[in-house]
Structure 1
């Protein structure tokens, strides 16, 4: 048995998102978001579930912070709901919303936990969507104003900021594949949304610097790891295109100030291109303090003409799968981290989400014995340690998620939490994986 020790200053944390846990959809002056609209659209969310109640963390945040403190985390990543701050997306500020997040932040600091705030985790105010949403540039201006309000309110207390969560999901998953809100199926619209979010990120970083906010700011991209089934040029190119759609299309502008030319050409052949205006790329590439990576899975695939968007067909090579159907491929995390370091240099990296969906419920003893989730975490912690030992500047890890919660289009059918949520009583019960992570944090390492 080998002992793997992590650096003493390694940041262990866990993460959530506002619409997934808060509930109180019609309380505290909150305005409607695109997810309120989408979840009420028949056929869009499993079982017609909505985030109206979710985990009710709006009322139970003190209980959740107590769970965080007992877990022993150094930091907690959560998102602020734009519709709680500006119910119409612009206009009058809702002080009740700011006060709520002020209470959450104060309680975290009181508990010795650093708040890591994500400004945008998908809950765009519906009023802005009605005006074109991220498909129009005016939403960039609205977002920067929203960010400025939040910076002014909490800039002295929050030391780590994330502008956007998973711009690929905001753009392609939501506006091309139509799986998430607002549910459009338009490639050019998705390209436009992606570009506008990237510009909004850059302008927000610039505003952060101009205001002299103390702390660090970065963004989070969800990376996919696609490997060629064979070393044929066709398979290699197909895997590169598919991987690049998730990775380089967002990482390159953020850290290099350019879009990858091989994908620019590919998208152009499909009749779509980023609506770049003068100065946009320089804006997007504002210097950031860290890059956040959300990572869950990887796959192998081969070239298949006219299959999908990139002539790429996944080949199942024997991976176990989680209950949501994602491959368990821990080494792909190491490969992705190495790729980021080798490609983009010494920028500090945080894993801002990593976790597994297993729908274990309470056993007769009342406990949740989620051994597969423990195995998943153990294997992925090992790959994190391996990356650090290989020189990757990995500074922290946020487990997804603290609580079972509203899993977007899957509703309440899929569970990622290390704490079990009873959606009828809203009782929280730590799972075995919670206690496993608690031990890893306390010992700053693990045996494998």
Structure 2
């Protein structure tokens, strides 16, 4: 062998070694080393390795997946600063479309401490909204092949796909066992749906007898996606308590996004509810469970959901009533910012006028004037790609500043079941498929 050939061989060997070392180091960088768990009091045996970098959210690939359900994180649960150690949380969620496989997104958004999920499952719920699963449908969740996982502080993680025949317009039971104390619980406070808690690891328990404690909040779970070859994408309903379903009959799935899902079911289109009661366009109110501002949460709660093709925005009333914003131009500027963010992702934006609230405790001539001016700008076509006029759909023709009596849940602000049905019917389904962009 000549000296030149020897140097060439040596160089090749060095290159191979460098590549192997880089691969090993890179692989280690994707694993949670467990040091955060040790600092929080966990033992080495309790440590898990999240398949995402610590402190970042796992990106949800849209390839083949479509959202069927979502709940926007509203804040940290009061009275649970260290979670629900040694308990199982059975979240009951309602699908819009079905599929052949499912995956679950878990969030630790409002905690600075890693969240250890010791065990998780998903199953089809029996009719009636209870804690019992349909026989043979309970499936164990895995995360990178492991049945336990640590969700990083402020982050989220997506489960491995699970083969499960998910029904259209049906209940799923998403159960999470938290074996040890952690940080504050990321939750959605007003589910208008009963979920359940049990002592011990009951994740794979198909029965409901152990789940003796009912709850009206969703904890940790923020999204459910399905594989469905016929799926035509998803629509996100983005708003406040009127989108969240305040005033509707609990457990009946009569929110206006649910009613819209009924209309879109034959079109195999998912509907995702990203409403948070008390939410505002401009101000962050997560400390009181009303979520980050609409502008700041729009990316996480709308743009990052898989398969989304359009968003319907109904937001702004709380800026007037709770935030005491008296400049309509600040509210409409915020709404334009939401449209701009959506257009950057190629999404269609349908915006609603603000519904009447005459007779509500926050109503006066000034708040009514601000609402009217915001609605005038919305109707002008200079904010959204298309408009759904919830104001006209809900108002009393004899007192236009008030809800029609049959559509009033009783507080002069939130619609009844009949009112939510009227809102869904006011949406022109063709507007969800248009292509003309608003002139911002």
Q: Identify, as 1 or 2, the structure richer in helix.
A: 1
> TM exceeds 0.5?
no
Q: Radius of gyration: which is bigger?
A: 2
TM-score, normalised on structure 2?
A: 0.29
TM-score, normalised on structure 1?
A: 0.28
